[in-house]
Structure 1
Amino acid sequence: MNVLLINQYFHPDISATSLIITDLCIELTRHFNISVLCGTPSYNPAESLTYKSFKFYTYKDCRVMRVWNTSFSRRTFKGRILNYLTFMSTGCLTALLLKKSNATFAMTDPPFVGFIAYMINKIKRVPYVVTLQDIHPDIEIHTGLLKKSFLVSAWIKLNKLIFNNAVYVIVLGNTMKDYLKDAYGLAPEKIKVIPNYCDDKIITPQPKQNKFLNDKPFKDKFIITHSGNMGLNQDLHIIIESAKLLKDNQDIAFVFIGDGAMKERLLASVKNNALSNIHFLPYEQKENLPFSLSAADVHLITLGKGLTRYILPSKLYGIMAVSRPIIACIDNDSDVAHIIEEAQCGLVIEPGNPETLANAISWMYKNKNDLPALGENARQYLENNLRKAHVIEKYRELFLSISSRVSL
């Protein structure tokens, strides 16, 4: 079976989405012929390779077709939209010129990338699946970034067109599934819940004092880490405010690892408040993740109030894989909250409240001896319920079901 996967980001981009999709494609090549249509890398890949426009090559048995798009900074909304639109233009044209596949798999970048799969379906009669890591423009409407307008209404109508014509729409959790049923009127059987994952054989627990901390000024501190995208939806300012409340405890260090649209604002806030207990580090390469994640005593997951209907933070899986406890500032009826509570691997607190977060961190600090047990609970839950092999098998079965439909 020949499957065309479409997503703007792919190896060597080091965003969470790129890492997940790249690994998924490699695993699926064991069962299917996978081709990937992607754009220009935009997460500052460390490799000193030149990624030319319209370059065709093979990466670990995946046939990769890399098309041109603009490379404006992702930290501005306009720049990101221009990058998306140029990828959509070149990607759609390229996809229509390619040899017909048996199925199209539209991932999550750009948010309306499913339109390319829809066009292939209408012109070439190829069935397609859409995976939603996030639900747009619903997020932007909720946060006030976008107001209701003709363009926003058109975007929502486009979503309905794409979703209704797909064989399946894949979401990461039941909260997102319920929202799609209510907001878009999709039949429950059309929506499949398949979570993200991390490679639990590679992302494994390491000692806290490992090579990642060798040259770090906070290596002997009690480390509170936020690792991953510093985006507009994470409500990251509550971490800064909590650090202000805890600044008199010189034994606690806050560490941000990653990048994103909010990073410059966070840096400015730290400078304006003269906070010496907060540190910023760049993204880590995949092979270093077991060490950077294990260097934390506690990991933070934050998300703005009400956003769990549209987003499921996938950093959860890596944290659980390295056996570290979690403080989640997130809606208590979300999938993440349910997992943490069921696994008994951390604390779930109300989003947007710095005082509550500071109190939760203080509790963790005072109860250090209990943290290894919470971490072990996290890893055990991951191994029992969220292993990579389980997720890959769900994707394999899904595409086999599409293959059987095509052959009928």
Structure 2
Amino acid sequence: MRRVFFVNRFYAPDHSATAQILSDLAVALVQRGHEVHIIASQGLYDDPAAKLPLEETLDGVIVHRVPVPAYDRNNLGKRAFGYLFVYRQLASALRKLIGAGDIVVAKTDPPLLSVVVERAIRGKGAVLINWLQDVYPEVAAHLGVPFVKGPVSNILARFRDRSLERAYKNVVLGVRMADVVRQRGVHSNKIAIIHNWTDDQEILPVPHSSNRLRNEWGLENKFVVGYSGNLGRAHEFDTLLEAARQLHDREDIVFLFIGSGHHFARLKALVDEFRIAKQFQFRPYQARKDLKNSLGVADVHWLSLRPELEGLIVPSKFYGIAAAGRPTIAVTVADGEIGRLVEEHECGVQVNPGDGAALAQTIKRLADDPSKVDEMGRRARSLIDTTYSRKRAVDQWDELLRSA
């Protein structure tokens, strides 16, 4: 069987989203007989100065790491320099390690990694598969990243498109993302939809009566609206904030935030400024082994995506929420990937971004109808079991790699 090389900036023991899902897949593929290699950096997402071993084997996965300098992610100039160094190191490692017949899977961390990988393996007789967690440079342009707009964005997009066209397959996360890639001129036979996943064997529905965190965090007899994970630039929270202000007289409703992110500090500051802090709780990331409890604390979760980013990013928080048997309030456009999904399968509610009044009414309606919430939660878990399980995604990856 051919060797499979995955290229990504981070890998286990890193806990970033891209590292976790890659770790899940790599270990599962080894268990199915594949020889899997990882090419990643020595650093950790939360500790760029970390020096993980350059070579090691984890759960049967052969990990090759390259040294990279620590840099300030909040400084765009230094981040750009750091990316360039990462690109060079990853490309150099690729050229040394791969040979004819190998399969190379390029993720999208750092952005535009497919361009670097395609050039590095050119002439090596290797097969390229791109795994798009997001679509750059369009995401950066929409988020207003300096220098990544106008002519520069167009040039970068052309290089990116070329790397997609030269790949054997481009794995995308949903129908909207497939449409975006197709509109860039990539033929349908080079696109495969494989949804992200969560650990649905570990994350299971936990009744409130059995969830120790409900008691520890003082949430008994409360209707909890949860958010778990990164609150980043792609997400908006103004809709939620306005809904919370309109629900200030509902002492039974609590907004629980678990995680961090670019907007996290700003949200906390506005909660204090609007004098609604008693409605909110902020908690740090919880251990992965305890996700079933931290996700199960809430009665319902919300997620958001800025409308202009539909098709460029898919909020993968949905899969963990659904695995925990909880409904999702999708603050997204109605025809967005997750907004459409929750309405079609009746496992949540879609609310338009900016419509705080509609969100407040939705939360109030759900808080007053626990049987409705329970039924939505059961449908959400059923959807994971039948359509979005980790096993199903691994089956699809296994089939794709064997077909290559």
Runs (5+) with no aligned partner, structure 2: none
Distance 1:107 1:223, change over 3 A: same
Separation of aligned partners in 1, 2:307 and 2:72: 27
379, 386, 389: which is aligned to 1:387? 389
Separation of aligned partners in 1, 2:133 and 2:268: 27
Instruction: Tell me the secondary structure at the aligned position of residue 251 of structure 2.
Output: coil
Q: 1:120: how far off?
A: 3.2
Distance 1:274 1:81, change over 3 A: farther
| TM-superposition CA deviations, 1:179-217 (whole Å, max 9, x none) | 1111x1111111111101112111111122412334214
Map 1:242-391 → 2, pairs under 5 A: 242-276=243-277, 277-391=279-393
Q: 1:54: how far off?
A: 6.3
Work out whether 1:35 is the aligned partner of 2:37: yes
Separation of aligned partners in 2, 1:116 and 1:144: 23
Letter in 2 for 1:111: P
Distance 1:74 1:265, change over 3 A: farther
Separation of aligned partners in 1, 2:223 and 2:205: 17
Work out whether 1:196 is the aligned partner of 2:217: no
What residue in structure 2 maps to residue 60 of structure 1?
59
Letter in 2 for 1:66: R
For the aligned residue pairs, the C-alpha RMSD in angstroms reads: 2.0
The 8 Å contact of residues 74 and 260 in structure 1, kept in 2 or not, is answered as no
Map 1:212-223 → 2, pairs under 5 A: 212-223=213-224
Separation of aligned partners in 1, 2:126 and 2:360: 52
What residue in structure 1 maps to residue 112 of structure 2?
112
Letter in 1 for 2:270: S
Q: Which runs of 4+ in 1 moved over 6 A?
A: none
Separation of aligned partners in 2, 1:38 and 1:241: 41
Letter in 2 for 1:171: V
Matched length: 397
Bigger Cα displacement from structure 2, 230-239 vs 268-277:
268-277
Q: 1:362: how far off?
A: 1.1
Separation of aligned partners in 2, 1:218 and 1:324: 16
Separation of aligned partners in 1, 2:50 and 2:303: 33
The 8 Å contact of residues 323 and 380 in structure 2, kept in 1 or not, is answered as yes
Bigger Cα displacement from structure 2, 219-228 vs 308-317:
219-228
Instruction: Tell me the secondary structure at the aligned position of residue 71 of structure 1.
Output: coil
Separation of aligned partners in 2, 1:167 and 1:196: 20
The 8 Å contact of residues 120 and 126 in structure 1, kept in 2 or not, is answered as no
Work out whether 1:153 is the aligned partner of 2:154: yes
Bigger Cα displacement from structure 2, 193-202 vs 218-227:
218-227
Q: 1:275: how far off?
A: 2.3
Q: 1:77: how far off?
A: 4.1
Distance 1:78 1:246, change over 3 A: farther
Letter in 2 for 1:255: L
The 8 Å contact of residues 319 and 384 in structure 2, kept in 1 or not, is answered as yes
Runs (5+) with no aligned partner, structure 1: 403-408
Q: 1:301: how far off?
A: 1.3
Bigger Cα displacement from structure 2, 288-297 vs 131-140:
131-140
Map 1:121-200 → 2, pairs under 5 A: 121-146=121-146, 148-182=149-183, 184-200=184-200
Letter in 1 for 2:119: M
Separation of aligned partners in 2, 1:83 and 1:27: 31
Instruction: Tell me the secondary structure at the aligned position of residue 310 of structure 2.
Output: helix
What residue in structure 1 maps to residue 87 of structure 2?
88
Identity of aligned residues (%): 29
